[in-house]
Amino acid sequence: MSKRQEKIERRRAEQQAFLTARADYNMARFIQSNELGKQFFEQSKDKLSEQEIALLEAQLAENQKVIDEYLAKKEERDAQSVQKTQGLQVSESSS
């Protein structure tokens, strides 16, 4: 691989690492906000109408689904990262 190609690949890896870190940070904030929303909902549930309660419960369920999907993808991504790292270690030690 030429130096130019190596540089391009290195920049792609840096970009992907940045985007992954940003997504993780944003999701952490979303999870935190969702938890605060749940607490606030539980505290003020008695002041809401049945329709408002149903709407908020549906939104909380949708938020939880998004969180669960993201965490499943993150777990898969982390497992792949570990496999790649282990693969590199095996190939480096066999050299």
**Tens of pLDDT, residues 1-24:** 899 999 999 999 999 999 999 999
Would you state the pLDDT for residue 91?
54
Give the side-chain half-sphere CA count within 13 A for 21.
6
Number of domains in the chain: 1
Mean pLDDT calculated for residue range 26-43: 96
Closest CA to 31 of 1, 83, 71, 2: 71
Measured in residues, the chain has a length of 95
Average pLDDT of the residues of the chain:
90
Asked if pLDDT for residue 86 goes beyond 80, the answer is no
Supply the range of the domain harboring residue 77. 3-94
Q: What is the pTM of this model?
A: 0.75
